Amino acid sequence: MTERTRLTTTETVYEEGSWLFTVRDQYGEPDEVLLVPCEDESDGPVEAWINRCTHEAQRFDRGFGAPMRDGQLVCPKHGSMFDACSGYCDNGDAADTTLVSVDLAVEDGAVYLTDDSYEFAHAGSIEDGGTEGAEGEGTDEEGRDDESDDDMPSSTSHIGF
Ligand code: FES
């Protein structure tokens, strides 16, 4: 039995045009996965692809949604277009390649991650999960005055009688 994680709904993927989330692979390394609408009845209604072009390590969705045109995913770097249903590209620099697919299940309008190779980390891009790092920096600024009177002129106020 495969463990599965509920990601979102097919409705959200269609409304937003695409839906990005972050996974961890077997080695614990983060990667991004893109859900896209696939209108082809035999495949759809939603497909999942690793958020990276096959030509160069270019992300399709760079944090503002994936560029799509006529059911195709468009690489923002050199413009190759990939079929959203099959992942196949027949044009431009990425011609004759196929995107890396991620296994999904769709049930009652909900989309589940069922791929054994990936574990769900969080919604959004890899960076969206790293907010703790930014907070860490702020705490350093509250340095206590007792420890910071090296050359500070204000430290003269400590001279007592
Ligand atoms: S990086 Fe995508 S086509 Fe070149």
| Helical (H) or strand (E) element with 25 | none
Q: From 34, 51, 58, give the residue whose CB has the most ligand 1 atoms within 8 Å, as the site to mutate.
A: 58
* CATH code, 96: 2.102.10.10
d(CA 66, CA 64): 7
For the chain, the domain total comes to 1
Residue 112 has pLDDT above 60, yes or no: yes
Q: Which atom of ligand 1 is nearest to the CA of 76?
A: 2
d(CA 50, CA 35): 9
Structure tokens at 135: 């907070």
Q: From 72, 78, 81, 89, give the residue whose CB has the most ligand 1 atoms within 8 Å, as the site to mutate.
A: 78
Per DSSP, what are the bridge partners of residue 34? 20, 49
Structure tokens at 40: 């082809």
Residue 42 pLDDT grade (very low, low, confident, very high; cuts 50, 70, 90): confident
Q: Is residue 93 part of a domain?
A: yes
Q: Comparing 135 with 119, which gets the higher pLDDT?
A: 119
Q: What is the pTM of this model?
A: 0.79
- For residue 76, the enclosing domain spans 5-125
Residue nearest to atom 1 of ligand 1 (CA): 56
Structure tokens at 82: 């990939």
